Amino acid sequence: MSTYKAQVLREAGKPLVLEHREIPVPKSGEALVHLQFAALNHRDLWMRKGAYGNMPGLPCVLGSDGFGIVEAVGSETNKSWIGSSVVIFPSLDWGENDLAPGPAWRILGVPDAGTFAEYIIVPVTQLFAAPKNLSPEEAASLPLAGVTAHRSLFQRGNLKAGEKVLITGIGGGTAQFLLQFAVAAGAEVWVTSRSQEKIEAAKKLGAKGGVLYTSPSWAEDLVKAAGSFDLCVDSAAGSGWAGICEALKPGGRLVFFGATRGAPEVPMRKAFFKQIDIRGTAMGSARDFREMLSFVQVHNIKPVIDSVFPLEQIEDAMQRMDQGLQTGKIILKIS
């Protein structure tokens, strides 16, 4: 019996367990991918810590991002995929409506077995050719964070060249992609962070400047330095929304895809008098994913890789993310 290694979350709040499982056989419409690299997302960390809410499907292999080689398919009509270098689209059963996902939508990695393993079975519809300008590690970093960033800026944020964009919490993977995509699209980008070092790193990637959000006057300081903003993309919410609404122009847009600092504190009068447009988003459709991959290749965008850990050291990788030490994506080397 042939087996493969997989990092399994057996119980929320407990360390992942390295298990050996039998290599599965793809059914009709499915593909077996031999994974080489995967990438961490905060979703994985929150699940590991037991902070993701109800998680049906445990025990389960975590992981939403992966690069690998298609080793087998379940249908003769899909044989052309065998041997292809692919990234996996982690938005499962989005549905036909690009505006919002349908009721069956879910993200790869709980309840469906994810990418922290040597092998994975996925529908052939989730396979996309890896961008030719990227290394395997860079390609593995793209899927979840890349599609979230692209949809936030262009489908939900309606970003246009020449506009001024604020990206909060620079340093994490999605924020790095937001910065790189917005700069490539011709926007003037400013950032916030709790680390001056991360602000300086963002400036090297094209940010015009930034401020420490730990300062009580961060929004006022930012507007003095940069002027008001057309668009802000945020994933923290909490008390930060008061400053964001202060920094946005009348008619400005606020796109958000998370609430890591809790429920937003919205200054209602300022928000409605300034006609601020608040738009939620999460992940993206197959069209968003295809357009993101094309954008990365056309603009020769190179993802920022923070560090690479062996699959066996996943707990060390999780700890680095939990401490907020990373700038860019944390990668797992699988095989």
In-domain check, residue 286:
no
Q: How many angstroms separate the CA atoms of 130 and 286, rounded? A: 15
pLDDT (0 to 100) of residue 279: 97
Domain shared by 133 and 199, yes or no: no
In-domain check, residue 288:
no
Q: What is the residue-averaged pLDDT of the chain?
A: 95
Domain shared by 224 and 255, yes or no: yes
Extended strands (E) in the chain: 3-9, 17-22, 30-39, 60-61, 65-73, 85-88, 91-92, 106-107, 119-123, 127-129, 164-167, 188-193, 209-212, 229-234, 248-256, 277-280, 305-310, 329-333
pLDDT (0 to 100) of residue 1: 60
In-domain check, residue 298:
no
The radius of gyration of the chain from alpha carbons, rounded to an integer in Å, stands at 20
In-domain check, residue 204:
yes
pLDDT (0 to 100) of residue 186: 98
Dihedral, 179, 180, 182, 183 alpha carbons, nearest 10: 110
Phi, psi angles (nearest 5°) of residue 43: -55, -45
Mean pLDDT by 10 residues, the chain (335 residues): 93 94 97 98 94 86 98 97 98 95 96 97 98 97 98 98 97 94 98 95 97 96 97 92 95 93 86 94 97 98 96 97 93 95
Tokens for 167, please give them. Answer: 């990206």
pLDDT (0 to 100) of residue 63: 98
Sign of the alpha-carbon torsion through 120, 13, 93, 305: negative
Q: Are strands 209-212 and 229-234 parallel, antiparallel or unpaired?
A: unpaired
**φ/ψ bin of 48: left (φ > 0), alpha (ψ from -120 to 50), beta (otherwise):** alpha
In-domain check, residue 314:
yes
Yes or no: say if 164 and 230 are a contact pair by the CB < 8 Å rule: yes
Global confidence as pTM: 0.96
Dihedral, 266, 269, 274, 276 alpha carbons, nearest 10: 30
State pLDDT tens for residues 198-244: 999 999 999 999 999 999 999 999 999 999 999 999 998 888 999 99
The position carrying tokens 């003037």 is 188
Domain shared by 87 and 206, yes or no: no
State pLDDT tens for residues 251-286: 999 999 988 888 888 888 988 999 999 999 999 999
Dmax of the chain from CA atoms?
A: 67
Domain shared by 153 and 264, yes or no: yes
The position carrying tokens 């080793």 is 71
In-domain check, residue 291:
no
Domain shared by 30 and 108, yes or no: yes
Q: What is the CATH number of the domain that holds 202?
A: 3.40.50.720
Tokens for 95, please give them. Answer: 């549905």
Domain shared by 86 and 7, yes or no: yes
Q: What is the CATH number of the domain that holds 85?
A: 3.90.180.10
Domain shared by 138 and 161, yes or no: no
First to last CA, the chain: 19
Structural domain count, the chain: 2
In-domain check, residue 193:
yes
Domain shared by 108 and 158, yes or no: no
The length of the chain is 335
Domain shared by 233 and 209, yes or no: yes
Give CB contacts under 8 A, 24+ apart, made by 193-200.
Answer: 193/169, 194/324, 195/171, 197/327, 198/170, 198/171, 198/327, 199/170
Task: Find the domain containing 74 and state its range.
Answer: 3-142+303-333
Domain shared by 84 and 195, yes or no: no
pLDDT (0 to 100) of residue 264: 82
Domain shared by 135 and 151, yes or no: no
Yes or no: say if 141 and 331 are a contact pair by the CB < 8 Å rule: yes
In the chain, what percentage of residues exceed pLDDT 70? 100
Yes or no: say if 237 and 260 are a contact pair by the CB < 8 Å rule: yes
Alpha carbons within 13 angstroms on the beta-carbon side of residue 129 total 8
Domain shared by 138 and 157, yes or no: no
Tokens for 123, please give them. Answer: 């529908």
Phi, psi angles (nearest 5°) of residue 95: 105, -175
pLDDT (0 to 100) of residue 241: 93
223-246 in b/e form (b: 16+ CB < 10 A) is: beebeebbbbbbbbbeebbbbbbb
In-domain check, residue 329:
yes
